Amino acid sequence: MSKLTQGTHIFFMNTAGQTPEVVKVDCATSFNPGGDPAGELDDTCLDSNEMEYVAGMRNPGTASLGIRPDGDYDSHMTMWNLSRMNPSPSMDWVVGWSDGKATPGIAQGVGSVAVDAGGSGYSSGTTTVTFSDPEDADGRTATGIATVVGGAVTDITVTDPGTGYTAAPTVTIGGDGIGATATATLGDYSFVLPNSRTWFTMGGYISDFPFDFQTNALVESEVSIRRTGGARWIKKAG
């Protein structure tokens, strides 16, 4: 079934202060995330009669966010101030669809893991790395893999930092060996998105915050967000 636009909410993560915070954009009137088309790589041979191409890297475009700017809205003033910073900081953005009302949270993921003791008797094929679950019920458990040299664990690579951690998780190293221990350290903050709503996520910085004054009209603005990196469309559970 088609989704209504009414009930859509726009959020961004403001990391410019000492403590990151989720900011809901007050009274958004429109949002167009733009696209990220794949580049064209010329794969034409000299004896070809027509041009041939293969897909290259994607090039994120510019998103536009419509608002009626009002200084009484803290979110509008925050976006304006962020747009005037040199440079304007890149932030995470998330669109909550109209099929739910949940709001995103923020917490940290695993940034790195230090091996405290390598142990002995481990083999590459059977050694496992397990992280404890995050404190946030909507979070995602981190994952990692171990590097084993001469029967000892020498390094742990984080394959998924997870989300929803407020304290560093415990790390359990399993397998045929004994004695290996490791300590996790938290990394960057990220959104924690409840699965009771559909989400669209992207990264970008506010590149322009213009004002539009017309006769017999409300003040309008089309805020430009220069996207960076990829995007995700996350389906609501069920």
131, pLDDT greater than 90:
yes
137-177 residue pLDDT tens: 889 999 999 999 999 999 999 999 999 999 999 999 999 99
The proportion of the chain whose per-residue pLDDT surpasses 70, expressed as a percent, equals: 100
Rounded CA separation 11/113 (Å) = 31
Asked if 10 and 28 count as a contact pair (C-beta separation under 8 A), the reply is yes
17, pLDDT greater than 90:
no
Per-residue CA distances from 207 to 51, 76, 77, 138, 187 (Å): 36, 15, 15, 32, 27
21-55 residue pLDDT tens: 999 999 999 999 999 999 999 999 999 999 999 99
Copy the structure tokens of residue 209. 């915050």
Q: Provide the sign of the torsion angle of the four alpha carbons 175, 177, 179, 182, taken in this order.
A: negative
All structural domains of the chain with their residue ranges:
9-104+193-234, 107-191
| Residue type for position 192 | V
Question: Which CATH number applies to 9-104+193-234?
Answer: 4.10.410
43-48: long-range contacts, CB 8 A cutoff, minimum separation 24? none
Beta 28-32 vs 21-24: how paired, if at all? unpaired
Residues in the chain: 238
- Beta-carbon neighbour count of residue 191 at 10 Å? 20
| Of the candidates 204, 183, 238, 208, the residue with the CA atom closest to the CA atom of residue 80 | 208
Alpha helices in the chain (DSSP H): 74-83
Asked if 122 and 135 count as a contact pair (C-beta separation under 8 A), the reply is no
